Amino acid sequence: MKRTLTVCPYCGCGCMFYLVSNQGRLIGVEPSTTHPVSRGGLCVKGWNAYAFVHHPDRLTAPLIRRDGSLQPVSWDEALDLVVARLRAVQEKHGNDAVMFASSAKATNEENYLLMKLARAVFGTNNIDHCARLCHSSTVTGLAETFGSGAMTNSISCFDQTDVILVIGSNTTEQHPLIGSRILNAVRKGTHLIVADNRRIRLARQAELHLRHKNGSDVALLNGIMQIIIAEGLADPEFIKARTENYEALAEAVADWTPERTAAATGLGVEEIIAAARLFAGAERGMIVYSMGITQHSHGVDNVRCIAALAMLTGNVGRPGTGVNPLRGQNNVQGGCDMGALPDLFSGYQKVADPLVREKFAAAWGVTALSDKPGLPLTRAMDAASAGHLYGMFIMGENPMLSDPDQGHARRVLENLELLVVQDIFLTETAALADIVLPAACYAEKEGTFTNTERRIQPLRKAVEPPGAARADWEIICDIAARAGYQGMRYSSPAVIMNEIASLTPIYGGITYDRLDPHGLQWPCPDREHPGTPILHLERFTRGLGHFSPALHQLPAELPDDRYPFVLTTGRTYFHWHTGSMTRRSHLLDREEPRSFIELHPDDAARLGVRNRDELLISSRRGQVLTTARVTDMVIPGVLFMPFHFVEGAANALTNNVLDPESSIPEFKVCAVHVEKLP
Amino acid sequence: MKILTLDQLDQFFTRISETWELRLPVLLPDGTRAIAPFTSAPPALLGGAVPGKPTAAFFPQQASVFTVYDGALQEPQTPDRPLFIIGFTPRDLACLRFIDRFFADGWRDDIYFRQRQHAVVAGLSGLCGPNGAMIPPAGGDCDLEFFFDGSNWLVVPYSEAGQAIVASLPDSSSPKTLELFRQASAQPEDENEILIKRASELLQADRVPDSFWAEIGERCIACTGCNLACPTCTCFGVQDWRSARQTERSRMWDSCQLDGFMREASGHNPLGSEALRTRRRIHHKLAADPEKWGEISCFLCGRCDAVCPTGIGMVAVARELVTRFGLTESKYLVTGG
């Protein structure tokens, strides 16, 4: 019997727990009582994080497609084929004809290595990962306004604040150990404003619940800022000392009178005024947001407005304040930090900067690195259908369920000349692959994950991987070696981290011996640096905070006579993304066993729909069968559907329209038709 | 009864491990305590109850029920060496006594008793509570008890197995010593015990309105930690993992805080809200179990209160409930809030 201290594989809270194992098998989970986030508790997914690991569906051998079906082969055969076929695609169509998709489920070291493999070995900047689908608008929006696209404060700040504005985050379900802190703070007197038209648990505890129209966040935030300025509630000292371009903001929001804001958002004038006064009137205010802000065709504008509201009220750079985008995946922060992004190396160093390219080329022992920014993941599908992309190497992602417009994604993936998928289960995407590589899961390897508060934490191996499965980092290094590259031989992930630290200033002081027990928060530039719980203390990363005003834009697709409902998509508490792990965890799958759609009782009555009726939902992209859940969680005219389920896949319906700056898809708004099946 | 110095205690553990699989409270790498195999981590007998339920030794979070391989049934084996577990506080021992009876009642749970039947269970008491606080001795409910007097450990046998083990120890002392400690540590019923009894009384008298449960339920994030940390929670789910030649049936701790726990095949759920499920959780321990077993099945170990991220563990709920609905008319009059 053994206990192994490690990091939860689910959300960005980054709780640490002990995996309990006996005779090489996991038999349970025990929370860490001293970890700063979990503090002796866990959410339901954390408590069940052991449950999928030994599932009989785990991939145990490399597979190659022969005669139309995937056949087990040796590692030698599979990896030689991976290299030969990647090279063949590149020789035929050019280096940028292949794309590497990294994973927010993989470790920092693995993300760094896949980035290095793409750039140093295969000569392309076509490397990206699922941050593109969740917080790319944050990275763009906060880099422009603050100079750093990460959560400014720490999770402990929720215990030290006077007012919390939660906008577009179902925190108790998606970041439960942060959501529960918010609930506790409210009981101790912290004011809570929730802006989200779903009646989520936090909304039911909030002092103000603003149920604004989907996609009207810019209008709402501009309206709130107009009131703050008009009523003299702004923080002039902070604005003067710490920011620039305030005049442009003041001018841009001046027309957003409460009446105009009310008309654009569907809210009442009084509640908008109340929210502005409550937030601006507090000594310390935190803003929390997530996918409800980012996943819009104007996601970057939403983020700009949030940054502006925080600066306008002086709520940056102090405990209990800040702009706090909650990163979804356990290591989506780390995936970005490691430069698994088409335009950035690790530590947000620009591909466009020749000095940066020189530095990496010298360290990696290559003559030159491509200066052409690569493709964002969300543009890869279109590039493939336009004849610019022919091969994809996908590590630990499942775009068949996670990408918008599933029909389009399927057609593209099926038509690629080469699809290699490295994963722990035969996902819907892996099932389409030419070559499948079996990977170790989080419990079977070492490395680090970086949580939403920028805390780099050690992942430890509890049990052996099944069959021939290997850690992602080992597979990547083997591919590099077979491709003739000698610069990716490492004895352990700790050695990889030393290389990361040498090239990545914000990780400069990170070594494994410093990470016990609960990690360090970046920036941590040198060996003596204690880590950084709060960003932008004396100055913003970019110097002065920059006000970037934004214009209100409508979502790309709005309801009409043919598709009269707004569909918004998201997740449930019990499942994780495309369900490859949680749908194989008995209690979690039992809790939410099938696809469903929420609709308001008034809509249900009008359509003659009862709870659990089967419904056919159609959009311009496709149609799915799902089960009705009649509830006042949603407002009339709006439907909510989770995207976890292969049967009843919400992303068969969603709109593949992208934010022009961040390339994030508009998962949160599309138009659909509802039909009750006889 | 015998007395062991700290050095002798360590020698005793080493000797015990030759015959038994010894598990005891240890200090894990980040300061979390747990009952774990001797030598896996430094022993940490001081500090009070461990955060995980000690009954997990006999009823782990997940356990095999059987495996069918090529049509042949294989049941889990009885362990080669029986368990010797130190670390049950007197409250934990009360929980163990409760679930021993539960698992033996009617259909005897052979998976539980495969681990439990030959195990030696040692209680832990004395000046070894949080920050050196006194844990009154259990005086029974275990094979033997380790009582810390501030510098040495008194070892007191209760069962035959306990007598045999203690008889083999080198030193001895007057049996009056533990009695003196017991008398010295005897205290009036503590506030939590009064609270829980009063809450039980109120629930059995149906004095708690639905609105109270709606309010508490709103704070439940369905983490299930209260159930998973509770030594007297015995509910489990069952799953089958099928592959080409093998079916593996296992069971895992379940939780009445999950919607799926009581959901009917139709989809209807008689406990279809957090309010009803939270009411059930508290009601089961404080009203249903007294009816079935003659005693409240919460022994105030405090684990659900420690593990709950939103502060609605048993004692916290009982306190709110009694404060609002039961300050008067009781033999368990409570004055605090």
Is the CB of residue A381 less than 8 Å from the CB of residue A350?
A: no
Q: How many CB pairs under 8 A join A and B?
A: 136
- How many Å apart are CA A40 and CA A47, to the nearest integer? 11
Helix (H) or strand (E) holding A136: helix A136-145
Per-residue pLDDT tens for A345-383? Answer: 999 999 999 999 999 999 999 999 999 999 999 999 999
Among residues B135, B41, B47, B132, the alpha carbon closest in space to that of B90 is found at: B135
Q: Please provide the average confidence, as pLDDT, over all residues in chain B.
A: 92
How far, in Å, CA of A401 to CA of A57, rounded? 18
The chain A residue lying nearest B222, using CA atoms, is A44
Domain boundary among the residues B126, B151, B185 is at: B185
- Tally of structural domains, chain B: 2
Q: Considering only CB atoms, which chain A residues are within 8 Å of B63?
A: 27
Domains of chain A: total: 3
Interface touch A587/B223, C-beta < 8 Å: no
**For residue B331, is it within any domain?**
no
pLDDT digits (tens, 9 = 90+) for A110-126: 999 999 999 999 999 99
Asked if B61's CB is within 8 angstroms of A201's CB, the reply is no
Residue B333 lies in a domain: no
**Helical segments of A231-331, H only:** 236-242, 246-253, 258-265, 269-281, 291-294, 299-312
pLDDT of residue B171: 66
Task: Give the rounded distance of the alpha carbon of A385 from its chain centre.
Answer: 25
Domain boundary among A31, A47, A63: A47
Chain A CB contacts of B52 below 8 Å: 30
Lookup: tokens for A212? 């604004």
Q: Are residues B154 and B14 in the same domain?
A: yes
In a domain, A366, yes or no: no
Give the number of other Cβ atoms within 10 Å of residue A352's Cβ: 12
Assembly ipTM: 0.95
Cβ atoms A377, A658 nearer than 8 A: no
Task: Categorize the per-residue pLDDT at B79 as very low, low, confident or very high, splitting at 50, 70 and 90.
Answer: confident
pLDDT for the residue numbered B336: 42
Residue B108 shares a structural domain with residue B195? no
User: Tokens in use for A116?
Assistant: 């290095």
Same domain, B163 and B46: yes
**pLDDT value of residue B159:** 96
- Asked if pLDDT for residue A303 goes beyond 80, the answer is yes
- pLDDT tens profile B179-209: 777 777 777 678 999 999 999 999 999 999 9
Which of B218, B224, B310 shows the shortest C-beta gap to A47? B224
Which tokens is B125 given? 């008491």
Domain termination site, one of A326, A346, A372: A326
Report the half-sphere exposure of A453 (CA within 13 A, side-chain side): 25
Q: Please report the pLDDT score of residue B82 as a whole number.
A: 93
Instruction: List chain B residues with CB under 8 Å of A633.
Output: none
Chain B nearest-CA distance from A388, in A, is 41
Alpha-carbon span B9 to A671, nearest angstrom: 71
Residue B144 lies in a domain: yes
Q: Name the nearest CA neighbour of A455 among A13, A6, A40, A110.
A: A13
Same domain, residue pair B135 and B235: no
Query: Nearest CB to A44: which of B31, B222, B241?
Result: B222
Kindly state whether residue B113 falls inside one of the protein's structural domains: yes
Q: Are residues B211 and B295 in the same domain?
A: yes
> B33 vs A26: CB contact, 8 Å cut-off?
no
Would you say residue A121 lies in a domain? no
Convert the pLDDT of each residue in B5-51 to its tens digit. 888 999 999 999 999 999 999 999 999 999 999 988 999 999 999 99
B313 min Cα distance to partner chain A (Å): 12
Query: Same domain for B80 and B6?
Result: yes
What residue in B sits closest to A45 (Cα-Cα)? Answer: B223
The residue among B151, B170, B185 that closes a domain is B185
Are residues A39 and A174 located together in one domain of the fold?
Answer: no
Of B52, B221, B311, the CB nearest to A172: B221
Answer yes or no: do A33 and A157 share one domain.
no
Overall average pLDDT of the B308-336 stretch: 81
What CATH number is attached to the domain comprising A647?
Answer: 2.40.40.20
Q: Are residues B269 and B314 in the same domain?
A: yes
Give the gap in angstroms from C-alpha B61 to the nearest C-alpha of chain A: 5
Residue B202 counted as domain residue: yes
DSSP A329: B
Interface test with A, best of B40, B77, B221 (most A CBs within 10 A): B221
Q: Do A44 and B254 lie within an 8 Å CB cutoff? A: no
Residue A574 distance to chain B (closest CA, Å) = 10
Distance from CA of B294 to the nearest CA of A (A): 31
pLDDT for res A223: 98
Determine the distance in angstroms separating the CA of B53 from the nearest CA of chain A, rounded to an integer: 10
Percentage of residues of chain A with pLDDT beyond 90: 98
Q: Pick from A40, A201, A591: which is nearest to B260 by CB?
A: A591
Picking from B60, B222, B307, the nearest residue to A28 by CB comes out as B60
| pLDDT score, position B175 | 57
pLDDT classification of B168: cutoffs 50, 70, 90:
confident
Q: Between A29, A35, A201, which is nearest B218 by CB?
A: A201
Tens-place pLDDT, residues B265-302: 988 999 999 999 999 999 999 999 999 999 999 999 99
Distance CA A476, CA A341 (A): 17
A18/B309 Cβ within 8 A: no
pLDDT for res B335: 47
Check pLDDT > 90 for residue B331: no
In 3D, which of B267, B240, B239 has the Cα closest to residue B253? B239
> Across residues B105-120, what is the average pLDDT?
94
Tell me which residue range forms the domain holding B321.
Answer: 191-325
Classify burial at B268, counting beta carbons within 10 Å of its beta carbon; exposed 0-12, middle 13-18, buried 19 or more.
exposed
User: Do the Cβ atoms of A55 and B241 come within 8 Å?
Assistant: yes
A200-249: per-residue pLDDT in tens?
Answer: 999 999 999 999 999 999 999 999 999 999 999 999 999 999 999 999 99
For B226, which residue in chain A has the nearest alpha carbon? A41
B34 touches chain A (CB under 8 A): yes
Residues B26, B74 within the same domain: yes
pLDDT band with cut points at 50, 70 and 90 for residue A301:
very high
Closest C-alpha to A214, from A586, A676, A656, A636: A636
Residue B255 at interface with chain A, using a CB cutoff of 8 Å: yes
User: How many helices, marked H, and strands, marked E, lie in chain A?
Assistant: 24, 30
Closest partner residue to A1 (CB to CB) among B36, B223, B309 is B36
Residue B78 sits at the chain A interface (C-beta within 8 Å): no
In a domain, A24, yes or no: yes
Return the percentage of chain A with pLDDT > 70, whole number: 100
B205 and B286 in one domain? yes
Which among B28, B225, B246 has the least Cβ separation from residue A3? B28
Q: What is the pLDDT of residue B329?
A: 57
Q: What is the pLDDT of residues B214-268, one digit of tens each?
A: 999 999 999 999 999 999 999 999 999 999 899 999 999 999 999 999 999 988 9
User: Which pair of structure tokens corresponds to residue A550?
Assistant: 């934004």
A658 occurs within a structural domain: yes
Residue A47 in this model has a pLDDT that exceeds 50: yes
H/E/C letters for each residue in B9-61?
HHHHHHHHHHHCEEEEEEECCCCCEEEEECCCCCECCCCCCCCCCHHHHCCCC
Both B132 and B10 in a single domain?
yes
Q: How far is B225 from chain A (nearest CA, A)?
A: 7
Q: Which of B160, B185, B210 is where one domain is finished?
A: B185
Range of the domain at A600: 565-676
B178 and B91 part of one domain: yes
Stretch A614-633: mean pLDDT: 97
Q: What pLDDT sits at residue A353?
A: 97
Q: Is the pLDDT of residue A392 over 90?
A: yes
If pLDDT is split at 50, 70 and 90, which confidence band does B327 have?
low
Cβ pair A40:B306 closer than 8 A? yes
* Yes or no, beta carbons of A47 and B242 under 8 Å apart: no
Residue B99 domain flag: yes
Contacts of B80 (CB under 8 A, 6+ apart): none
Tell me, yes or no, whether B169 and B200 share the same domain.
no
